[in-house]
Chains A and B, each alone.
Chain A
Amino acid sequence: MPALFAAIVLHDVSLAWRRRGSILSSLLFFVIASSLFPLAIGPDPQQLRALAPGILWVAALLASMLSLARLFAQEHADGSLDQLLLSPHPLALLVLAKICAHWVTSGLPLLLLTPLLAQQYGLPVSSALLLSASLLIGTPVLSLIGGVGAALTLGLRGGAVLLCVLVLPLCVPVLIFGAGAGAAADAGLDAMPQLSLLGACLALSLFLCPIATAAGLRISME
């Protein structure tokens, strides 16, 4: 079973690499969106520092929405999704592997870029790293919740917009705790409570979302 899991992750990551244009475009969106704010808000360092965690988190959330629609789209179009559904292995596990690969190709690059982008806001290195840590716990939750939305909106016309409408409200707790952790760290407070809450979100969605995604895929076959 671990071999199968690793094989699916590897398969999806290598496919994403072959189609790296779409990874790059959502990364570029993240870079541009988070660079626009300092230009619009003005150079007041105090204000920028206070706004940085919230802005970077929102930009990361929106950037990860961009790549969600293609989580199952290609498989749906070429029919390999049927083979996945007809596999004798538990579908929730296969789906979890796919979501894992999606996070590696969309969430991971975001949190690696964040300390760099935080420099535009004059965030000290320690706060920037803590912001990255909050993204490390938070972005997998975004991928997991997004997987449910991607499964439910599969094959629908205008699915991409519906997907955002469906998924964004569910991501609000993650956004609050994630940005809260970054803000607390910057104010010199203990960020552990927020990080723990993020961890709880991750644990809960790690358990529930693959099952919901599997059920969503079966429904969207109809």
Chain B
Amino acid sequence: MSNRPADTHVEATADRGLSARRLGFCRAGRPVFGDIDLAVGPGELLQVTGANGSGKTSLLRVLSGLLEPAAGELRWRARPVRAGESGYLQSLAYVGHTDGIDPDLSAAQNLAFAMRIAGATPSRVRVDHALDSYGMARTMSVPVRRLSLGQRRRVALARLALVPRLLWLLDEPLTALDEQAGDAFQAQLDAHLRAGGMAVVATHRALPAGGRFLHLGG
């Protein structure tokens, strides 16, 4: 593992953000990644890079608590993270490589339901605003199955604007996005970081927002 953040950084951000120590994960007995140290504090971006199959998605799923790590420890604000703990989940937004939207519902219906699941009361204004920022205002009542891949991705990313969350875990957010939507995402990410938010982004294309890098695989 190259570019491992200095231990001092891990120490400094441990009680204000997300930190992991010697994190490892195995799938069917085969190690996917191991010995990862990382730390993300307020206003910081961590870009996870690496070849296909190097374990970027698994790392994000471990960080979200969807998967149990095989080794090591994950801490959120100095407290160990356990699966299904509502305190951590209330600070977390996750956009996986699948969009997490139902193809039979419209974009607006999907987002309204996502707000409900995330623990907020659905608000028409917020949904409209979130979709509008991704240029989806005109297609918001079309069933998602009739949208293109890139448009679905826009809907998935618009979810981030619905409920304010401190920590964003994003898996290849730019997949299938065109330039305009990529810019909209960039603006959204910048605003999130400026407001003191944190983000861990798995990507094979470095984002211009910079931040620190974690390279997985050889």
- Chain A interface residues (CB < 8 Å from chain B): 4, 7-8, 11, 15, 18-19, 74-75, 77-80, 82-91, 94, 214, 218, 221-222
Contacts and interface: CB of A to CB of B under 8 A. Distances in A.
Given A86-B64, A87-B119, A15 B104 contact: yes
B118 A82 contact: no
5 contacts: A8-B116, A82-B64, A83-B117, A84-B117, A86-B92
B114 interface: yes
A88 B104 CA distance: 25
A89 B68 contact: no
Nearest to A94: B117
Contact of B89 (A19, A74, A86, A218): A86
B117 A82 contact: no
Contacts of A222: 27, 67-68
B86 interface: yes
B96 A82 contact: yes
Given A82-B64, A86-B92, A88-B90, 17 more contacts: A7-B116, A8-B116, A8-B117, A11-B113, A15-B104, A77-B98, A83-B117, A83-B118, A84-B117, A87-B89, A87-B117, A89-B119, A90-B86, A94-B117, A221-B67, A222-B67, A222-B68
Contacts of A11: 113
Interface string B75-102: 0000000011010011010101111111
Contact of B100 (A7, A15, A78): A78
Contacts of B102: 15, 74-75, 78, 80
B100 A4 contact: no
A79 B97 CA distance: 8
A19 B102 CA distance: 12
B50 interface: no
Interface of B: 27, 61, 64-68, 83-84, 86, 89-90, 92, 94, 96-105, 113-114, 116-119
Contacts, number: 74
A79 B118 contact: no
Nearest to A214: B84
B155 to A, nearest CB: 12
Given A79-B96, A86-B64, A86-B65, A19 B83 contact: no
A94 B89 CA distance: 15
Contacts of A94: 117
Contact of A218 (B84, B100, B104): B84
A79 B118 CA distance: 15
Given A4-B116, A82-B94, A19 B84 contact: no
Given A7-B113, A83-B94, A218-B83, A88 B100 contact: no
B117 A89 contact: yes
A88 B119 contact: yes
A78 B66 contact: no
B100 A79 contact: yes
Given A15-B105, A87-B119, A88-B90, A78 B65 contact: no
